[in-house]
Structure 1
Amino acid sequence: MSGDTVRLNIVTGPEPHQLVSLAASELGHIVNRLFGLTPTISEAPVGDIDARIELVGEAPDDNQAFVLRRTQIDGTPGLSAVGGSPQATLWAVYELAEQWGVRFLLTEDIYPDSPGAFHLPEVDKTWTPWVRTRAWRIFNCLPHSGSYWGADDYEKLFRQLAKQKYNRIFGFFRTYDAFTDYTFDGVRKRTAEISRGLRLPIHDGTIGRELFGDVNSFYNPDLPVEPDTVYEADPDTTPVNEERIAAGKRHVETVIERCHALGMDFAAGFWYTEFPQEMKKQLKRASDRHGFKPTPFKGEYLGLRIGILREGIVPEYAPYMTPMNPDFVDLVDAVARSYVERFPAVDYYVFSRVEFPAGPLDAETCWQHLSRRYGLDASLEDLVAEAVETGDVDARRCELDLCGDICQLYLLDELLNQRRIIAGSANPDAVAVIQVGTVLGRFVPRMFSNVELLASLGYTTESQADRGKVMQFAEDGNIKAQLVISLEDDNIGESPQYNAASIARLYQVIDDYQLDGYYGRQWLISKVDPAAFYMARANWDRNVTVEETYLDLVTNVCGADAVDAALAAFALGERVTLQEAANSFLVPSMVSNQFDLAEPVPESWSENIRMYEQMTTHFDQALVVSREAGKPFLERLRHQAQFAVYWHRAITDVRRAGKLRQQADKARDEAQDVESYDQLNIEVVALLDRALTDMRLATEAYARSAGDRADLGVVAALNVYGLEILDAIRKLEFIKMTWWTADGKA
């Protein structure tokens, strides 16, 4: 059999499911691309053929399993590619493509240069995933998040995720965004933003301007853009943005439809105890009107503000945000119910844990109530001690997180068990997924039925792996439990992160404690291909190693000649990831905070820069010998490493400049040493000039690596939060250098 002479028949069976029809269409495209064949696709076998691939036949009992098996019928060579469900049959086709040498990345498909003549693989194997829930996160916030993606962008990603055999998409929403709509105490939510209302203008001076098309602002293409952000929405004066709320609903519905079209479930996650400003104001009004007597919060106020949202304990509103306040419970109900009622096609509703609990008040009262109702045998004092002992943040944060979790469990008992907001809805078969800290995880199956548990062990992948033993409570199988796994962390930021080795440790946790699977945590797509490729293999083979998958990836994508150099770069990437610290959190203060911090960079940074430089060199060496199809993959990773070099250099100089600024002011104000003050001012500006040069080079490098809207968000933010802010700091420092008085008053 060779070339156009092969007559291939793809058989779907009668009245095929749309996913089986898609599988047949995909298989037809694959064999055409590989072997130049145009197969006949039919519901029943046809005669006068040379080979047959059947997508119908004896199927595995497991609805996620599939089989590839050589057959011979009446002398005609054949192959059965059949799954225990239509979705699994689609996966069987993609696995068959891999048998022919195709490799599926998150960003593209890589075909072999010389697949040879058409042939049916000699295979007789059933694939069954041991990691049962494989979820990929979308939406969320910040410039590199999915909140800036249109439905068409998501469809492309979903197709690649289907090829890597994911079975759940996790859309994480915020209560301020344009995707939800609710009313409390007669007041409808006014705020309808994405990504905390942050704006990223695009203009002729923007590095990478050509990447953005004919727009003057980086935004979600499915939503109307507003010229200005309303930072303090008011329940009386701020109008409801009907156009954007309607567009947001259409956008989410379309995304869910396209997810379901590929057989994947959709999980909608949301914060239900954090609200935009106007709703907090209305909560206080309603509570005061109804005679609620708030208890002042005592202790440290933990929280932050990014854009329109103040998270955590806000002194004015925190005393009202307690489960002991009936109006607060009603507001929580309105938020949670809005997702259930607005998006009834959702398969899972994820009640997500807030990062900074806004209402940890009355945790003792809540715990006593739950303990009496469900016989929970632990004291709050013991739980706090356990949280501190097993946590990965400071003791005070551990205590606040635990108290917030207790209050959230109390609220979930009210929402799910008493008010039955899912069971009594138009979507009663949907499953609730509860996210709480691991200390309380063991109590969830005693309180709820038909729920799953989502556990977060930390921010960075390595810290998550270090805390794996806290999941021991789940090994008895009383509840389906999943881990949050960070493919990359937003605090470390845009530098390369090679986390496959740490993820392998987390897979061991899943295996050791009989967990159901994971929810991926990531913002960027293009830089996590190596880790994602490992996960796609390890989901089905618990014994596969990171080294084996890396070798397979580079060999089949770039060619055998590129293996040594590329794997050397990957090894450096794994090393540098383990010692990276937070340095490029993509928010407006990402550079100005570094200047104000005025502290030396970590000692590891000089070594990290050297490793990034070496990675760039290794990628250059791999590019010289790579086959053409693999060069875009290597070039992307090379540019990301090069970005990290320039970024770390720039921030090193920004911090040095900030430290010198402090020394200069101290020399003038405390020692009256104006000569030192003058010289230090000159040095500050020189450092900032050098930092600007490196920041520009970093932005140019990242722009060269950009491949999707997450990358575009980084490029836009580097221009605005990086270059423009750094240039403004430099201008202010230049004024101080060129005009000053000894007393500092002019």
Structure 2
Amino acid sequence: MSGEVQIVIGPEPAAVVERAIGDLRSYLSRLFGADARVVATGDGDHPRLVVGTDQDAHVRRTCPALPSLSEQGHLLRRIDDRTLLAAGGSAPAAAWAVYELAERYGVRFLLHEDVLPPEPGPFHLPEIDQVFEPVQRIRSWRQFNDLVHGPVLWTLAQQQAFIAQVFKLKFNAVEVCLWPQHPMIDYEIDGTRRSTWTFLFNQQIVIDDDTIGREHLWPRTNRLTHPDFVGIETFDDALTAGRRLIGGILDAAIEKGMHTCVAVQPLEFPIEFRHCLQRPNDESFQLGDLTCAETADLNNPKHVRAVETRFQALIEQWGHADEIDIHLPEHPQADGGFARAWAALTEAHDLPPKYNADALVDVARSNLLVPGGAPRAERELKSAVGMLQFLHDFFAGNDLQAMMRDRGIMPTITLGGSAEPLFPFVHRVLPPGFGMRTSVDYTTSRAVRRLGLLEQVDTSAMRAALTVTLQDDNVGYLPQVATENMAVLLGAASRLGWDGFYTRYWAIGDLDPAVAWLARASWDARVTPHDAYVDHVRHVYGRDAVDTFCQALRMLEDATVILDLRLGPLFPVNDIMRQWLQRSAPVEADYCHVLAIYESVRGLLEQVRALGSGPPSKAPNLDYWLSHVKFSIHALHAFRLLQEAGADLASETESDRQRGMATAQRATDHARTALRTMADQMRDDSDRGALAAYNQFMLREVEQEIAAWRDRLADGKRVHDS
């Protein structure tokens, strides 16, 4: 077709609708050669696409008998032979109707790109009359955190491009998770102003000429940090850059009518504020030892003043967000005041006798599913009680909630998995107006094993949403596919009245199959992971690839469950690989199973490549998958060999130690191959961050340890000879 298609809009369409129409015009031109023109009223015999909200006059004229639509609801309706209506209950929903129409023409939205069908056929108006209402009311992506392979290193341009893509997939919210050490909030406590800042938990990751893949990394950078912060030293300069970055992320979402959330940890402070606390922690409790927390009674005046000052600064500086989420610390230190806090909560909220301290602690002590075991579960439960009691009294004693109400901010508290004994009555002890969020556990498969906890939360009495893990950071830069378990978890949450989900993820290069399901199932609970996989693979890799690629994804689900159990092995922090040369430990068989799965998956993906045929999107996407799987195979070989080497080096026998040195050297050979393979396929800033980091963790630090062992063995030989 090379004729005209008319797109009928109202006199002043919202910017988000205009952008969607611009995308649609591009799709129609590229697919059908159509000249899509925007007009106020359609005329002649040209096909008409009528776009707008259900309140727009031109939409009402086109279809007087519109069904009732929620703010997120939208519809596609073929009116007659030449007219199709794409309407929504709001401007963002009208834009989603446009992108839904694009999908009907065969367009698929990936996290990095749009994929258009190579043979779309002739232009037509789809025969459709369908209303779309969300199953998951909140569908959020977390856009900022603090590990090397996540979005913390993304430039603003990549953030904006990503938000544009997830909006096309009908996700409706973004979250930025600001750690205490991030330079985005300025405040002064008792005469001390903020002065320290860092990213990546202050890990000093070197980038030099020996870094494999250096040419793919950021220029003029000799130490890994966010590219917008290269060369910045002072807190004031970092604050300016930080506000520009986070403000740009939130603005990109706000422009599309998306919900925005700023997540903070107000009970932890940068280390310059240690003297502002009554009894700050003595021992490090978080990576990098960059923060401090109160270990005395949380209600002491110094702590109350510090938290109030910081929280007020948060509202004043980021109060244009729709939601503030208070994250309770991952490694809390507030268990000492449990008895007093529980007595105060019980009295203030008239909790029934069946909820008693001994019963709560017994539940925690018997919880063997928590990483770290029962001692951690007990400490975290007691700390959660102390922190909830503190926060209830804290917000009752100031006007911060009034400040949030005046700005239309929704307050939320995220509880850790060990707070599960509190779930049946948590709605009674949260500060008034607060919602709750939880991940239940670190990973989705772990959360599914505790699925019954979702039933214990009274969603009729408060807002409740899930944090859903697509990838866990402890596993590191290995392929993770958790779609089947996500389907179980979100299906149960939806039936029980939970509002929706906030994603937890890191690198995005291999998330497209899972996201294809997540996007569709958020609107249609009948869509299975396999349904979504088949559609995704057919459009991206070709019809012939469907069965084989789906088998690979199924096997990766198995590998992910094994990795979830171990919560390892490539957590992207210093010493994660070198440590195996410093101790004797048996080779961990679970990772050998994962390695075998990856080998099988590589074979399946090679079969897909051998098919030859497929759409233009097949080759680059398949190359990325193969690169990621091959990296993982060599990384796990390196991991296994380092464990073998560590056992030999711990021996008293000279021959064992020499064998250990040779084995360690073989491990570095695999590490180099893994890094070269990764460097061949750099999709985004997450890949670049991972490449720089694993150069240090898998190679540079291991080579340093091998050199140290070589010196120790040489010294021992000299002593023996003498």
Normalised to the residue count of structure 1, the TM-score between the two structures is: 0.89
In structure 2, how many angstroms separate the alpha carbons of the residues matched to 1:330 and 1:696? 51
Please state whether the residue corresponding to 1:154 is helix, strand or coil.
Answer: helix
Residue-pair matches, total: 696
Out of 672, 677, 684, the residue aligned to residue 708 of structure 1 is 684
> Residue 78 of structure 2 aligns to a residue in which SS?
strand
CA contact (8 A) 1:599 1:659 kept: yes
Residue 108 of structure 1: aligned partner: 113
Unaligned stretches of 5+ in structure 2?
53-58, 60-65
Residues 51 and 270 (structure 1 numbering): CA distance in 2 closer, same or farther, change over 3 Å? same
Q: Indicate which of 220, 226, 235 corresponds to 2:226.
A: 220
Per-residue deviation, residues 639-695 of structure 1 (Å, max 9, x unmatched): 1111111011001111111111212xxx2xxxxxxxx2x212211110111000001
Q: Per-residue deviation at 1:380? A: 1.9
Q: 1:369 to 1:305 in 2, by over 3 A?
A: closer
Please report how far the alpha carbon of residue 719 of structure 1 lies from its aligned counterpart in structure 2 after TM superposition: 0.8
CA distance in 1, matches of 2:422, 2:196: 33
The Cα shift of 1:389 comes to 4.0
CA–CA separation in structure 1 for the residues paired with 2:552 and 2:47: 43
The alpha carbon displacement at 1:570 in A equals: 1.1
Q: Percent identity?
A: 27
After superposing the two structures, state which structure 1 stretch, 44-53 or 411-420, moved more.
411-420
User: How far off is 1:303 after superposition?
Assistant: 5.5
Residue 718 of structure 1, CA deviation: 0.8
- Name the amino acid aligned to 1:241: F
Is 1:495 aligned with 2:483?
Answer: no
Which of 602, 618, 631 aligns to 1:643? It is 631
The answer (yes or no) to whether the contact 1:94–1:163 under 8 Å persists in 2 is yes
Superposed, 1:124-139 pairs within 5 Å as 124-139=129-144
Distance of 2:101 and 2:9 partners within structure 1: 16
Match of 1:306 among 280, 283, 287: 287
Contact 1:600–1:652 (Cα < 8 Å) also in 2 = no
Supply the distance in 2 between the matched residues of 1:87 and 1:438 (Cα, whole angstroms): 36
Work out whether residues 60 and 83 of structure 1, in 8 Å CA contact, stay in contact via their aligned partners in 2: no
Q: CA deviation at 1:454?
A: 0.1
Matching residue of 1:233 = none
Matches of 2:115 and 2:721, distance apart in 1:
65
Aligned-partner residue type, residue 26 of structure 1: D
The Cα shift of 1:628 comes to 2.6
The alpha carbon displacement at 1:742 in A equals 7.4
**Mapped pair 1:367 → 2:311:** no
Match of residue 27, structure 1, among 21, 24, 28: 24
CA offsets, 1:529-567, max 9 Å, x none? 221111111111111111111111101111111112212
**1:475-490 counterparts in 2 under 5 A?**
475=458, 477-490=460-473
Q: Answer whether contact 1:67 1:125 (CA < 8 A) is retained.
A: yes
**Separation of aligned partners in 1, 2:309 and 2:390:** 12
Whole-Å separation in 2 of the counterparts to 1:302 and 1:467: 32
Partner-residue secondary structure (3-state), 2:324: strand
2:72 is matched with which residue?
Answer: 64
Alignment equivalent of 1:37, drawn from 30, 34, 37: 34
AA aligned opposite 2:590: S
Answer whether contact 2:32 2:120 (CA < 8 A) is retained.
Answer: yes
| Structure 1 residues 71 and 309: alpha-carbon distance in aligned structure 2, compared to 1, 3 A threshold | same
Amino acid across the alignment from 1:640: H
2:585 is the counterpart of 1:588: no
Residue 256 of structure 2 corresponds to residue 262 of structure 1: yes
Asked whether 1:283 is paired with 2:296, we answer no
The alpha-carbon deviation at position 744 of structure 1 amounts to: 7.4
Amino acid at match of 2:688: L
Picking from 304, 307, 310, the partner of 1:332 is: 307
Paired residues for 1:115-126 under 5 Å: 115-126=120-131
Q: Which moved more, 1:31-40 or 1:463-472?
A: 31-40
Instruction: Please give the alpha-carbon distance, in whole angstroms, between the structure 1 residues aligned to 2:472 and 2:226.
Output: 23
Decide whether aligned partners of structure 1 residues 274 and 46 sit closer, same or farther in structure 2, where only a CA change above 3 A counts. same
* Aligned equivalent of 1:405: 384
Q: CA RMSD for the aligned pairs?
A: 2.2
Q: Which amino acid aligns with 1:714?
A: A
Letter in 2 for 1:309: L
Q: Does residue 206 in structure 1 map to residue 211 in structure 2? A: yes
Q: CA deviation at 1:302?
A: 8.2
1:224 Cα deviation from its structure 2 partner:
4.4
Q: CA deviation at 1:162?
A: 0.4
Q: Name the CA distance, whole Å, in 2 between partners of 1:221 and 1:743.
A: 50
Report deviation, 1:610: 1.9
Hey, what's the Cα distance between the residues in 2 that align with 1:594 and 1:739? 21
Residues 396/390 of structure 1: CA separation in 2 closer, same or farther (3 Å cut): closer
**Match of 1:682?**
658
What are the Cα deviations for residues 155-210 of structure 1, in whole angstroms up to 9, with x where unaligned?
Answer: 01101110111111111111111112221111012112122222333222211112
Confirm or deny: 8 A CA contact 1:594 1:654 kept in the other structure.
yes
**1: distance between equivalents of 2:393 and 2:516?**
41
| Structure 2 counterpart of 1:291 | none
Equivalences for residues 293-442 of structure 1 within 5 A: 304-309=285-290, 319-320=295-296, 322-377=297-352, 378-389=355-366, 392-393=369-370, 394-425=373-404, 427-436=406-415, 437-442=419-424
Q: CA deviation at 1:370?
A: 2.1
2:93 aligned residue (88, 91, 106): 88
Q: Which amino acid aligns with 2:2?
A: D
Distance 2:13 2:154 in 1: 32
Whether the aligned pair in 2 keeps the contact of 1:8 and 1:49 (CA below 8 Å) is no
Asked whether the equivalents of residues 600 and 655 of structure 1 are also in contact (C-alpha less than 8 Å), the reply is: yes
Which SS does the other structure have where 1:144 is aligned? coil
Give, as a single letter, the amino acid of the residue that structure 1 aligns with 2:413.
I
Query: What is the SS of the residue equivalent to 2:582?
Result: helix
> For residues 597-648 of structure 1, what are the alpha-carbon distances to aligned partners after superposition, in whole Å with 9 as ceiling and x for unaligned?
4312321332322211111111111123233322222221111111111011
Query: 1:275 is paired with a residue of what secondary structure?
Result: strand
Relative to 1, partners in 2 of residues 1:310 and 1:276: Cα closer, same or farther, differing over 3 Å?
A: closer
SS at 1:587 equivalent? coil
Query: Equivalent of 2:449, from 453, 456, 466?
Result: 466
Matches within 5 A, 1:161-172: 161-172=166-177
Shift of 1:485: 0.9
Deviation at 1:425, TM superposition (A): 5.0
Q: Distance in 1 between matches of 2:24 and 2:396?
A: 47
Corresponding position of 1:187: 192
Structure 1 equivalent of residue 14 of structure 2: 17
Provide closer, same or farther for how the CA distance between residues 597 and 158 of structure 1 changes in structure 2, counting only shifts above 3 A.
Answer: farther
Which residue number corresponds to residue 508 of structure 2? 525
Q: Quote how far apart the aligned CAs of 1:471 are.
A: 1.5
SS across alignment from 2:537? helix
Which position in structure 2 is the counterpart of 1:251?
A: 245
Q: What residue number does 1:558 align with?
A: 541
Q: Deviations along 1:407-433, whole A, 9 cap, x unmatched?
A: 221232134333131422585311001
Q: Which amino acid aligns with 1:257?
A: D
1:712-731 equivalences under 5 Å are 712-731=688-707
Q: CA deviation at 1:324?
A: 3.2
Change (3 A) 1:16 1:532: same
AA of the residue aligned to 1:441? F
Shift in Å at residue 305 of structure 1? 4.5
Residue identity opposite 1:611 in structure 2: I
Q: Structure 1: where are the runs of 5+ without partners? A: 228-239, 288-293, 312-316, 668-675
Output the amino acid matched with 1:4: S
Distance 1:198 1:599 in 2: 26
Cα distance between partner residues in 2 of 1:213 and 1:715 = 11
How far 1:388 moved relative to its partner? 3.6
Measure how far apart 1:71 and its partner are: 1.2
Q: CA deviation at 1:710?
A: 1.0
Residue 157 of structure 1 corresponds to: 162
For residue 55 of structure 2, what is the aligned residue in structure 1? none
Kept after mapping to 2: 8 A contact 1:538/1:544: yes
Distance, in Å, in 1 between the alignment partners of 2:406 and 2:462 is 22
Residue 42 of structure 2 aligns to a residue in which SS?
coil
Partner of 1:424, secondary structure, is: helix
CA 1:552–1:273: 2 relative to 1, 3 Å:
same
